[in-house]
Structure 1
Amino acid sequence: MSSKPTRERFLTLSSRIMKPVIGHHAGLETLRAAVQSGRLHHAWIFSGPPGIGKCLVATEFARVLLDPQAGADDLGLGGTALASPEGEKLANGNHPDLHVIHKEDAVHAQTRSLRERKQMNVPLDLLRERMIGGHTSDGAKHEAPAYRKSILGNGKVFIIDEAELMDNNGQNSILKTLEEPPEDTWIILVTSRPERLLPTVRSRCDHVRFGPLSDEDMRKWLAEHPGDHEDVEWMLDWSEGAPGMALLARESNLIECANELQPIIQSLDSGTWQKEFGVHVAEFVTNRSEQVVKQNKKASKDVANKQALSLILRLLGMHVRRRLSATEPGDVETGRRLWELANRIGDAEDQLHRGLNMKHVLESLAAGWSQTCRT
């Protein structure tokens, strides 16, 4: 989850559309073919792992749809964003016909209860204000932005980021708009969990699946977005082709935490239980969640805690993956132990998702890790 206020987040994203999209060659080709066909579908799902750039591609797609000087062949190039006044507005993040909806937008909502709530999902009231119209929970009636005429006359694009965070009521509320949208109106649902979208939603959309960047593309991205004194090889291994994960590692000082945990994990690998494991992880989680809440007062601390823990579990998975790649093909016993560790990490993630106590889950994981490596 990005903890930046929505406008800052969108301006950061918008500034990137001036540069070519890195990677996603198959997905971009699918979208180019759709534009060239002259029979462009009005509703789309862009799915793929978190942090790989799906929302960035959605915004670039919107640029081509809304800028009359841009064509299908420009998709992904980014450089034509200043080809027209519309392109300038897109580049500056103030195009009136591009509507990007994030859960963090609730802080700017007209509905008071929406402004005051913690930002854990994409609520129905936010969809009513920003896209579909209707009565919000405070009784106010909102005109549907999706059914207004486009201000600049080139159509409208609605992007719902983290669309899986719409509950069933929210998803059901957009069905009519997905099925019968106004002319020259396009809707893009961006999600890392398409299975959480209702079948009735999925059936009304064309689905484009995006994968992680290749090592070559990820190296190119890191070269264009360098960190301070950064271990590029570590970042490549950590990010697994997801630039967003690289950004999260930088924002959260994860590399420092990884260096502190390394001798503790090595001790667990030798079969020795380490109580310091839970202490270091809890410290990282606390610091990260406080950082998120400080940047965004309406961010949910519980969600921030879970997301910080997911970074640690991903870090442990990276450690296991490295060991697996270094294991000799004939070393069946070591391979068995490492696969068991991978399963333990997955079990811990499931337990945290179900709301089990963080301290107990971490203690169980550390104890199980050392026990697996002793047997």
Structure 2
Amino acid sequence: MRVFLVQTAHGLAPSSGGFKANISLLRNLQGLAKGIDPNIVHHDPLVTTFTDQDGIHNIVISRNIFRDNYSYAQYLEDTRAYLEGDEFHPIMHDAVRIYSTHISDFRPTHVIFNDALTMKITAVHPLRSTFKRISVIHSAEQLPFGPYCAGVSGHCLSARIENNLLRNVDGIWAVSRAIQDYAWEHGRLKTKFMIHSRNTFLSDKTRGLPKVRNNVERDEVGMINPCPYKGLSILLALAKKLPHIKFVTWESWGSEPEDMEILRALPNVQVLPTTLNTNEIWDRIRILLAPSIWYEAWGIVVTEAQLRGIPVIASNAGGLPEAKVGVPYCIPVKIVSGERQEALVKLMTDREAYLALVSLTAAKTRAWLEGLDCRAHEKWLLSMVDENE
């Protein structure tokens, strides 16, 4: 089995769930069997260093080529034009050619992607009959139907075309029950539900269960990727209502300069750049906030924190309740109440309540992880090949 994975999202960092999920899937496949040869195509030079350690082949398409002569708006317009069969810029012609050539050179048995551009390239590829096409649904916004369609810039540029393309792939992977239910309810689209690879949640260094923290002496509440989608308004409200509590945030793909300036204006909020070492986050904070107001696909950072015994106060948006695995706190996002504030104050001031939740959080999340089938993705991919034999 030869797996070719395309990652086209810009701005992903090691603290980004999408970044880690893609890397961990290939790492997991690489570690299961000698017959699996994974390959990855992406836009971020950070990934090369991160994945070369695992023997995964990388093809880095530099963003600098596009930055100087090709605006993001032009890229989106040309992607739409390519999908719909209209004329588009020569740079997009080059991008399509590069992708297609590398697929031909690698001769994969499976191509995995979550973007419309690759979905179209693989649909018309000369070797189309020799590989299986798998679309991963990482967000409701990328689906060409439903209330969240095109809710994020760059997603779902041509709903009609993307809907037709999506219904002709060989497999559609929904990363949560929430996404699977959404796809069926709004588009009658059948998907395969599988949780992210077990490796996604393990320690990068040891490849085993991460160390449980004892952060009862810490005095900061943390949040990763502060932006409107992720509940920036809730963070701001909490920080203003609780000036005696310290908050620390780490920027990521959704963080905009103007929003970060608003946060920096608050005396009890510290804004930090994204970090290559996420242990810096887990060693520092007492509580993690995940107050998303959009339809989260899973919320990998929630599960990561809980495995380390760090309590998480999350919204019940999309797949976040699944990521919480039944551990408090999961608070309705559409109901205005003081529940989130009360939970935060309790965990910051009640030592015994905090320690009890640390033990429950670590034990229950670790038991959940141990129950995952580490070969689930491999079995599914192989089943597609077996169907033709």
State the TM-score, normalizing by the size of structure 1: 0.35
Larger strand fraction of residues: 2
Choose 1 or 2 for highest CA Rg: 1
Higher relative contact order (Cα pairs below 8 Å, separated by 6+ residues): 1
